[in-house]
Amino acid sequence: MNTKILTCFGALLATLLVLTGHTATAAIPADETGGDTPVIGLVTGPASHANKADAQTIAEEAGRSGAHVVLNGITDGKAPMTAFNKQVIGDGPNELIKNTQRKKVQRELIDAVQSSQQATPAGPVDVLSSIRHLADSLHALPHRPPTTDIVLFGSALQNTPPLKLTDPVALADPATTLQALARQGLMSDCKGWRVHMVGAARTPDGPLDSLREVQLRELFRQMFARCGGRLVEFSGARLISFPGSGAEVVQAHWAKKRQVIVPLPAGVLFDGDSATLRPTARRDLDKTVATLTRTYPTATAEVAGYAASVSGGSADQALDLSWSRARAVGQYLQTHGVSPSRLKIVGRGLADPVASNQTEEGREANRRVVITCTLR
């Protein structure tokens, strides 16, 4: 009888210790976990959408599978802060204590995701360094399963050397951009990664227009495929499915056709409703000339003008303006060394808007000249 009383008292005391937070998660020796322990890698960053619901989804999956989770904050080129690095399991003499302890670790993970997001410094995004740091952290684990689930929260519009995706050509030509990164040894080993990117197309100024969002998605699709993984989700504000089916996102149609699409905002090239090139437009147009004469000397190019829908303006006026602006850009390219036989000039007026015409920001995005290079 005394033995039974002591046993019950010991179980009760252990439960109380767990509930008051005095029992630590037991370390899992490498020889016990091996390659069977699931692994989840997380990165939070500026303009992040790592909300509590997403964190709970990840914590629930980690608790269900007993995954080892590594959470890094995105960096500005310095070593990242590792906010969480442990296996989401419970330890104890019975299932009640194990479940209680596992829930405690899950709460720690949720709190760490939110705290890491809030502690991220503002400034240019260095998502490439953050991915490399995460890869290093995961490779340091004693277990490496064949498949690793990765969630990257926050903007992916890289704006730090050597990759500046604010340069239209760098974003428009993923294959060439990734070749340059590979030559510099900047590609991570992501073998077996299934990558979810959440809020990747958002910036401090708001979301990217639809064309640049697709270009950004295609660049990272190709990047993860090249280093041994798969981009399985590229979502706006929420984690849609986790861990999901693992099917890769669809390749962009222009990538299949070996095209490079460079959008030039009309606000950079022209004043108001004018079709006369501004003096400052020369900087961007000279980059386009270099693209067509040096990078793709045999490519053909379509120069297409687009306009925005405004109150009081007619579709015919918009079409005329789009033609005039496309002709102005085409003439500049010709006078600076691009053969007329390689160019096709078109005006598309109000067609194919890339953003809503209900806001000034959207109308500004829709006023543009798009140069589509078809590679030979």
Question: Quick check: 360 pLDDT over 90?
Answer: no
355's tokens: 């953003």
Q: Could you give the CA distance from residue 192 to residue 201 in angstroms, rounded to a whole number? A: 24
Name all contacts of 322-326 with Cβ < 8 Å and 24+ positions apart: 322/347, 322/348, 322/349, 323/347, 324/275, 325/266, 325/269, 325/270, 325/275, 325/369, 326/369
Nearest to 275 by CA among 216, 207, 322: 322
What is the per-residue pLDDT for 302? 96
Question: Quick check: 45 pLDDT over 80?
Answer: no
Nearest to 253 by CA among 261, 245, 265: 261
78 band by pLDDT with thresholds 50, 70 and 90: low
Q: What percent of the chain has pLDDT over 70?
A: 86
What is the per-residue pLDDT for 301? 95
312 band by pLDDT with thresholds 50, 70 and 90: low
Sequence-ordered alpha helix ranges (H) in the chain: 2-19, 30-33, 52-65, 95-119, 127-139, 168-172, 174-183, 210-227, 253-256, 266-269, 282-290, 315-335, 360-366
Q: Are strands 230-235 and 163-164 parallel, antiparallel or unpaired?
A: unpaired
What are phi and psi for residue 316, nearest 5 degrees?
-65, -40
DSSP 11-28: HHHHHHHHHTT--PPPP-
For the chain, the C-alpha Rg in angstroms (whole number) is 26
What's the average model confidence in pLDDT over 45-69? 86
Is residue 312 classed as helix, strand or coil in its secondary structure? coil
pLDDT in tens, 106-146: 999 999 998 887 766 666 778 888 899 999 999 999 988 99
| Structure-derived torsion over alpha carbons of residues 118, 119, 125, 131, reported in degrees to the nearest 10 | -100
160 band by pLDDT with thresholds 50, 70 and 90: confident
343's tokens: 């160019």
Question: Quick check: 52 pLDDT over 90?
Answer: no
Nearest to 63 by CA among 98, 14, 32, 26: 98
The CB density around residue 297, as the number of other CB atoms within 10 Å, is 12
pLDDT in tens, 249-307: 999 988 888 888 998 888 889 887 889 999 989 988 998 999 899 888 999 999 999 99
